[in-house]
Structure 1
Amino acid sequence: MRERIPLDFIHIGLHRTGSTFLQKKIFSDVGDVKILQFNDQKTLRNEFDDLILIPPPFFDEGPVFQRIHAGFVENEYRGLSAEGLSGMNQGYFSGSQLAFICERLGTLFEPKKILIVVRSHRSYLISNYIADIRHGSTLEFLSWITRREENRELGFCKFAPLVKLYMDAFGSSRVKVIPFETMVTDDAIEQFLKDFGYSSKVSERLWSTPENRSHSNVVGLNILLNKFMKTKLNSGSTVGLYDDLSVYNFSRNHLIPFVSRLLMSIGSKANAQFHCDSALLDMFVKDTQELSDITQIDFTELGYPFK
């Protein structure tokens, strides 16, 4: 068995918690340090798709681990950041991937820190819904919630089990949890990078510029368009850049953002309204309490369900 690869950190990038922003604007600009992330890099993409998606009975770890090990050594990567490490949640997700992903990361790497960014359950649900619309869903919000409940998929909104999993695997002192709501305002990410001696040249303006806008003011238009075109979801695409979906790509990357900006420029502030009833949010009260206990972070003022 080869030795584990030493890393400064692994970022378990939960969807809709600023992962794209961190990867494209922060982790890609930390001096000479190389952080492997898959927003604009194809190195080892296939290998990590295998690591994330193939369940244990069918996973041949030998050749996959060998290529990952060789790639990290050759490129001298000091960190890893990927949304897929928290599982694939667009359109389907029950958390079934989390345990074997964690185990495989522990077999391959020896990180100094595990970084996990969490988010208020209400805004996390809404943001994931809008992301599903961008990927091709045609469901209204309440129907989307109902479908997720029927499929036992709302577990992706519970953060404490994920944090506990990595604390058990790597040690509590190695797991760094940062709330999305204070990630920038409290300089938490900057301090996290400084602890490794990284020199970030990121401007103050960049910290306040979102990378992956939700375009919540055009959700209705997005749903309508999805009904008449081939999308990521209805074509069965789950990973990759889906180059064969030219109309969808144009709508997602150009038309929807343009209409959203146009509405904002003429003074329209009408965003879609999403109602999360108290019964739904009550599902996550225990998660907030457990998360607060294991991280020693006070979530009461950050919009997390709490009693």
Structure 2
Amino acid sequence: MSKNRTFIHIGCHKAGSTFVQEELLQKLKNIKPITFFNKNEYLEKEFLYISQCADIYYENNVEQVISKYYQKFEDIFISAEGLSGNGYNVFTGGFLIESIAKRLHNIFPDGKILIIIRNQKDAIESYFKDDVKYGYLGDFQSWFNWRLNTCQLNYFKYFQLIKTYQNIFGKDKVKVMLFENLFDLGYLKNILDDFGVDTLGIDKVNFKRGYNKTYSPLSLKITPIINRIFGSKLTHGVTFGKDNRLKVYNLWRYQLSDYFNKIPIYKNKNKFNFDNYEKLLNDNFHENNKKLSDLIDINLNKYDYI
């Protein structure tokens, strides 16, 4: 379909997507960023459809719509973490990963895929904090066991994700980057140069600014109280952006929490621990990471992967 050079960053969640979309791609001078932050060119409805719709309901005419629209641009760089196979505010466990990959290949058969991964322990704990922001009121152990028992943490078994994209697009068209190195200018530039991305302008990228900052332990304690009393995105069925009904929620999440995050109370307290937690992480991800290390030729042990 599309004949222009296309790069597609598919996530994963909690692995620097906001930085890529809001900062990195906006500074690269010779690529066309297609992200949530570029409303005029981002086909939000269509990308939601190809990343969310189950096969039995899927109508592939949307692929022609997307392909035709983006043929007018050269060197586009699409970034949308929903394309990694996990729903928007719906933790699905990645059961649409293969379907999404095939749909993207139908639209962009010559596209190149960038996948950024993060060690599972940090990614999972960051995901929990996001759920608390959104409106989850329970504790971490209950949340973890619920996600684990419903197979939703399979999403963080990166070997299958990466192998699927290699099988569909070809190994030479899939580049894997570690979140742990993402904010290193030299590493990032080398990876993108090697992948064929024109990095003119990368020297202007701000690596020091915080992007989608996580809550501190103190803010994490306060947030469920506020959300229980005043409501949250979860209780009001809100997905993107701000909702005028949630005045207290918006004030806390987007303004006041920033100040509380700087207060060093509970700073060193490990909130994310319970009996068998480390064993459960090891049982679910260690062997997967060993296979992944061989697949991508990176010693993940050096980066504290499980």
Instruction: State the TM-score, normalized to the length of structure 2.
Output: 0.89
1:31 is matched with which residue? 29
1:224 is matched with which residue? 225
Residues 39-84 of structure 1 deviation map (CA, whole Å, 9 limit, x = unaligned): 352531111111111112212221x223312321234452211111
Q: Distance in 2 between matches of 1:34 and 1:249?
A: 32
2:160 is matched with which residue? 161
Q: What secondary structure sits across from 1:278 in the alignment?
A: helix
Residues 101-133 of structure 1 deviation map (CA, whole Å, 9 limit, x = unaligned): 111001000345211111111111111111111
1:126 is matched with which residue? 125
Query: Number of residues paired by the alignment?
Result: 297
Amino acid at match of 1:18: G
- Shift in CA distance, 260/183, structure 1 to aligned 2, threshold 3 Å: same
- Shift in CA distance, 89/270, structure 1 to aligned 2, threshold 3 Å: farther
Q: Distance in 2 between matches of 1:111 and 1:253?
A: 40
Amino acid at match of 2:87: M
2:212 is matched with which residue? 212
Q: Distance in 1 between matches of 2:68 and 2:188?
A: 29
- Shift in CA distance, 89/45, structure 1 to aligned 2, threshold 3 Å: closer
Residues 135-186 of structure 1 deviation map (CA, whole Å, 9 limit, x = unaligned): 1111211111011123221111211110011010011111111111122337
Alignment of 1:3-18 (within 5 A): 3-18=1-16
Query: 1:230·1:245 contact (CA, 8 Å) conserved in 2?
Result: no
Q: Distance in 2 between matches of 1:104 and 1:189?
A: 28
Q: Distance in 2 between matches of 1:271 and 1:157?
A: 25
1:246 is matched with which residue? 246
Query: 1:89·1:156 contact (CA, 8 Å) conserved in 2?
Result: no
Q: Distance in 1 between matches of 2:69 and 2:241?
A: 22
Q: What secondary structure sits across from 1:74 in the alignment?
A: coil
Instruction: State the TM-score, normalized to the length of structure 1.
Output: 0.88
Q: CA RMSD in A?
A: 2.2
1:108 is matched with which residue? 107
- Shift in CA distance, 250/67, structure 1 to aligned 2, threshold 3 Å: farther
- Shift in CA distance, 112/56, structure 1 to aligned 2, threshold 3 Å: closer
- Shift in CA distance, 292/168, structure 1 to aligned 2, threshold 3 Å: same
Q: What secondary structure sits across from 2:261 in the alignment?
A: helix
Q: Distance in 1 between matches of 2:251 and 2:32?
A: 31
Q: Does 1:286 align with 2:283?
A: no
Q: Distance in 2 between matches of 1:6 and 1:38?
A: 21
Unaligned runs of 5+ in 2: none
1:303 is matched with which residue? 304
Amino acid at match of 1:252: R
2:235 is matched with which residue? 234
Residues 242-280 of structure 1 deviation map (CA, whole Å, 9 limit, x = unaligned): 53553233322112223223x15xx87356521262211
Q: Does 1:196 align with 2:194?
A: no
Amino acid at match of 2:227: N
